[in-house]
A = this chain, B = another copy of it.
Amino acid sequence: MSLRHGLLDLLAGEPMSGYDLSRYFAVSMGNVWPAQHSQIYPELARLTAEGLITQTGEGPRGRKIYQTTPQGIEALRAWMRDSKPDYQVRYEALLRIFCLWVLPTDEALAYLARDRKEYARHLEEMEQAIAEKDWGAHTTTRAARLTIEFGRRFYTNLVEWIDWATEQVAAGTLQPGGPLPSVTGG
């Protein structure tokens, strides 16, 4: 039930199409709640049927512009007030670190190097997003800025952590009888 609230939030800030939304779910909002267009289009139909959004215009190529209705904003508010947040994180890339011991040290180091590259890329994206956009225009974007800031710190943190993990692995953590990971070096 989170996808619909993400859509209600985005369409409250700025009217846009399903195609635009899917791009938001590929970047900014997708950083905390990923979704494919195959999930978005049916949800837009449902939200329209429930009166939480309306189609306010159309463009070339059958493009449909949607906007959150006052009832939609009220539904979003009710969700924020009346339901408990789900604090569970799902992150496959980190689950894999649990399994790093199956690889020999050299492969594990290559693995971590690939991860690091990915995290550095995300960090750059975040910093670019912060620099490029006007975050003061609307209350919705000012709230989004809070989440983006978390993203920036999150990826900064990941890069630092993976450098630490790399040191650990290089020191032989993944070998039987290697050094204890509890000894935090560096």
- Which A residues are closer than 8 A to B by beta carbons? 2, 5-6, 8-9, 29-34, 73, 76-77, 79-81, 85-103, 107, 111, 114-115, 118, 122, 130, 135-136, 138-140, 142-147, 149-150, 153-154, 157-158, 160-161, 164-165, 168-169, 173-176, 178, 180-182, 184
Contact = CB atoms under 8 A, between A and B. Distances in A.
Contacts of A158: 150
Given A81-B107, A135-B180, 18 more contacts: A32-B91, A32-B92, A32-B95, A32-B98, A80-B111, A85-B118, A87-B93, A87-B118, A89-B90, A89-B91, A97-B143, A130-B182, A142-B173, A142-B178, A146-B169, A149-B161, A150-B161, A157-B157
25 contacts: A30-B88, A31-B89, A32-B92, A33-B90, A79-B99, A80-B102, A80-B103, A80-B111, A81-B103, A85-B96, A85-B115, A87-B93, A88-B92, A89-B90, A90-B91, A98-B144, A98-B147, A100-B146, A101-B143, A139-B173, A142-B173, A149-B181, A153-B157, A153-B160, A153-B161
Contact of A122 (B9, B87, B138, B154): B87
A140 B118 CA distance: 24
Given A101-B140, A103-B80, A2 B164 contact: no
**Chain A binding surface SS class:** helix
A104 B94 CA distance: 36
A92 B100 contact: no
